[in-house]
Amino acid sequence: MRPKLVLFGDSITEESFGDGGWGAALAHHFSRSADIVLRGYSGYNTRWALKVLDRAMDGASFGEPPAAVAVFFGANDASLSDRSSGFQHVPLCEYGTNLRAICSLLKDKWDSTIVILITPPPIDEDGRIQNPYGDNPSGLPERTNEEAGAYAKACVAVAEESGLPVIDIWTRMQKFPGWEKLFLRDGLHFTSLGNRVLFEEVVRKLKDTGLSLETMLVDQPLFYDIDPKDPLKTFCN
Amino acid sequence: MRPKLVLFGDSITEESFGDGGWGAALAHHFSRSADIVLRGYSGYNTRWALKVLDRAMDGASFGEPPAAVAVFFGANDASLSDRSSGFQHVPLCEYGTNLRAICSLLKDKWDSTIVILITPPPIDEDGRIQNPYGDNPSGLPERTNEEAGAYAKACVAVAEESGLPVIDIWTRMQKFPGWEKLFLRDGLHFTSLGNRVLFEEVVRKLKDTGLSLETMLVDQPLFYDIDPKDPLKTFCN
């Protein structure tokens, strides 16, 4: 049985199998070693994620604990409460509590599973103003980078107190000059390059926890291990 | 539990989650409805596929029959026996027998599962000459379009006699002028456009068998069905 790597998150996860997406890139990278299981729910915050966690994970485990679950929420929680996406907002303190609950529920369900937290990404406010969701007469962005940063810090804190690995994509992306347009296509969702950054971070983090191409079994003999003079010999075991 | 759609094939399947790949496009299309399970084995022909079928499908079903399995072999079987990839060659008659056996084994395992056959793709011989596998002192392509066409016809015949749906991608691609370079990047494997053609054919064929976004359940409430004034109400059921 191939190990399963479950991606549990919001729209940045749901769209991760689109062109150049980080989920598809993981499935390609692990094409003979692991199944990447997509559980992305566009628009969801941690409050709603908690409500669906059990049902969302049913069928994601396929009878045995996944090797890893990446939990990637916060971008919607960090919507400003008094702006156009206010109904997705979750207060910072509750975000931390919800994240802890999500991790506990996953660990209660599958104690051997590695839970990896991913912080919300940075926000390019100009990109959000240029790409509003529906009417936005105020002309103000419904998310700010400062607010996303506070949620990212809270996510890192939850990971540290729980002893879980974390990818601080908010900080990581901002190390690159021009990150605003380079990595974010509408100020929030990823460009191909942004997807690439997250993909590489996930691969690195999985490797830190012992899950890499070098350590995982290959499903069925590789072509180059098949003896051209006697191919069927390879399949006799 | 989301239905599973399993992709069982050779390198064109194994690489189908790469950039613009048809597998990733299916996972994106069905991102809230179905799990796309990748079982691609680069270089494999039907003879080797038969040897690994049981183990390859273990863990692909996750305890319940997949909704559909796409079986996409033949490109390697159709390698010419006296050229540089000769050890992958499987005689035409045996190819048909093997395909029948693969379908029978899948149906024996899961009688409710829809098995969809996909013919080998057309071959651009110039592309194969320009992109040889290793040394090819003869300068001749190791595959020809005519030979691939014979295997495609055999695949269609197996589907018809077994009453199974089939995608004749060999014929379909050749309806487009310039298919050689438009759809094939090395005379055999797909460009992004080639991937798109197969993706659309698979979506159409799945729809014919009753598997479409219109008929499949959505996993958890969609964002636009959540009442902004009372979001949690949606999750009370």
**Pick from A185, A28, A190, A32: nearest CA to B19:** A28
Q: Please give the Cα distance from A46 to A108 (Å, whole number).
A: 18
Q: Residue A208: give its domain's CATH number.
A: 3.40.50.1110
Would the CB atoms of B38 and A23 count as touching at under 8 Å?
no
Nearest to A17 among B28, B39, B228 (CB): B28
Q: How far apart are CA A57 and CA A62, in angstroms?
A: 9
A7, β-bridge pairs:
A38, A70
Q: Tell me which chain B residues have a C-beta less than 8 angstroms from the C-beta of A47.
A: 231-232
How many angstroms away from the CA of A200 is the closest CA of chain B?
Answer: 15
Q: Is B226 in Cβ contact with A43 (below 8 Å)?
A: yes
Tokens found for residue B228: 């902004």
- Closest to B43 (Cβ–Cβ): which among A44, A58, A223? A223
- Coil, helix or strand at residue A172: helix
Q: CB neighbours (10 Å) of residue A237?
A: 5
pLDDT digits 0-9 by tens, B137-173: 888 999 999 999 999 999 999 999 999 999 999 999 9
**pLDDT tens across B23-66, in order?**
999 999 999 999 999 999 999 999 999 999 999 998 787 678 99
Catalytic residue of the set B33, B61, B162, B186: B186
In this complex, is the C-beta atom of A66 within 8 Å of any C-beta atom belonging to chain B?
A: no
Give helix then strand counts, H and E, for chain B: 9, 5
Please report the DSSP string for B80-124 in residue order. Answer: -TTSTTGGG---HHHHHHHHHHHHHHHHHH-TTSEEEEEPPPP--
The average pLDDT across A197-226 equals 96
Complex ipTM value: 0.96
Tokens of A160: 């540290």
- What is the mean predicted confidence (pLDDT) over A111-128? 97
Q: Tell me which DSSP letter residue A52 carries.
A: H
Query: Which of B1 and A157 is assigned the larger pLDDT?
Result: A157
Could you tell me if B10 lies within 8 Å of chain A, comparing CB atoms? no
Quick: pLDDT tens for B76-101: 999 999 888 889 999 999 999 999 99
Which residues in chain B have Cβ-Cβ distances shorter than 8 Å to A43? 223, 226
Number of domains composing chain B: 1
Task: Name the residue range of residue B218's domain.
Answer: 4-235
Confidence of residue A77 (pLDDT cuts 50, 70, 90): very high
B120 near B189, Cβ under 8 Å?
A: no
